[in-house]
Amino acid sequence: MQIMNVFTWLNDQLFKMVWLNDLMGKLVENVFGLDLNGRTGASLQFFLFDTVKIFILLSVLIFMISYIQSYFPPERTKKILGHFSGVTASTLAALLGTVTPFCSCSSIPLFIGFTGSGLPLAVTFSFLISSPLVDLASVILLASIFNWRIAFAYVVVGLFLAVVGGTIIGKAHLEDQVESFVYGNGNGDIPEEELTRKDRIVFSVEQVNDVVKKVWLYILVGVGIGAAIHNWIPESIITAILGQDKWYSVLVASFVGIPMYADIFGTLPIAEALAAKGVGLGTVLAFMMSVTALSLPSLIMLKQVVKPKLLAVFFTVVVLGIILIGYLFNFFTPFFM
């Protein structure tokens, strides 16, 4: 019991950052003179707290992930994956995606490199699905908003979707549906550079700066939308469209997310607000997955790399997987809460 109390305290203070929420509440009351029970005050507290929390966690986690990633440059990764085949290779590629803090668009250049080096489509698409959908940072951020069960379950089903999706695409034998220039993109054997500890730290800091520059606007927009949903849109309106009793809620959430472009860091505040309004867990996760894995800009970029038939197969496999996962999470919600 004592150990659980310590774990709960650490979880609340380090990941959920209860202290930061209290601090922002005092800031809103004492500096801005707003009532936390009012819509404006509550919205401002939500916005300040979630923004600062996400940037803190994002910076720390991306630094740690990038430091680990520095030991696995693309050339070394290609060699490692090249030693495996079948589901094992797809699983390793999906796991690799969890340590690449990229959005869907940023993952495509690595997908081109892996495909051009001769790796099977099952492997490269497992990576392409996993990379924007699941990363180690998402585990911490999901746990900070929901709980650890949901965070780990999200990662497991995300990896499962990546492996199964990649395997299905590989079994379809659509290698001729990849644009010819991709296969001429192999770089041969490039000598691997041995990095010093200082080099790895510099690389990690650069990755933090690069990721923050790419996502800061989406985070602010996402937190702003979350604050509006949380405090300004009546619960009755949201539940009328996406309530847990609506059989079509997962379908709506999945297809509404596709035209949007954001990564998981910008999507989480919206997910948090929707869950607080009574939207089903599976519906929320389906929305998150569709935004991160099937955003319209990433599909447009992928269209330049693969032909329509392969693009259609990729889209169909992923969207059906997301919808199935959404319904399963809604059904098993009591287990996770």
Rounded to whole angstroms, the Cα distance separating 118 from 182 reads: 10
pLDDT at site 110: 74
Angle at 231 between CA 225 and CA 236, to 5 degrees: 100
Q: Which two tokens stand for residue 189?
A: 């054997």
Rounded to whole angstroms, the Cα distance separating 289 from 321 reads: 10
Q: Which two tokens stand for residue 8?
A: 């709960």
pLDDT at site 266: 73
- For the chain, the 3-state helix, strand and coil shares in percent, each to the nearest 5, are 75, 0, 20
pLDDT at site 190: 44
pLDDT at site 74: 66
Do the domain assignments include residue 213? yes
Reduce the DSSP state of residue 28 to 3 states and report it: helix
Do the domain assignments include residue 190? no
CB-based contact 129:161 (threshold 8 Å) = yes
Do the domain assignments include residue 189? no
CB-based contact 186:117 (threshold 8 Å) = yes
pLDDT at site 163: 95
Place of tokens 């389906």: 286
pLDDT beneath 50, residues of the chain:
187-191
**In 3D, which of 232, 215, 240, 244 has the Cα closest to residue 273?**
232
Do the domain assignments include residue 332? yes
pLDDT at site 82: 75
Do the domain assignments include residue 43? yes
Q: Which two tokens stand for residue 205?
A: 């800091």
CB-based contact 166:95 (threshold 8 Å) = no
* DSSP letter, residue 196: P
Range of the domain at 307: 2-183+196-336
* The model scores a pTM over 0.85: no
- In sequence order, the β-bridge partners of residue 243 are 279
Rounded to whole angstroms, the Cα distance separating 91 from 188 reads: 24
Q: Which two tokens stand for residue 246?
A: 């609506």
Angle at 11 between CA 9 and CA 16, to 5 degrees: 115
* pLDDT tens digits for range 125-165: 998 888 877 777 677 778 877 888 888 888 899 999 999 99
Reduce the DSSP state of residue 81 to 3 states and report it: helix
- In sequence order, the β-bridge partners of residue 306 are 178
pLDDT at site 189: 46
* DSSP letter, residue 177: G
Rounded to whole angstroms, the Cα distance separating 47 from 35 reads: 15
* pLDDT tens digits for range 68-80: 777 776 667 777 7
One-letter amino acid for residue 7 of the chain: F
Cα–chain-centroid distance for residue 105?
A: 13
pLDDT at site 104: 53
pLDDT at site 165: 94
Tally of domains within the chain: 1
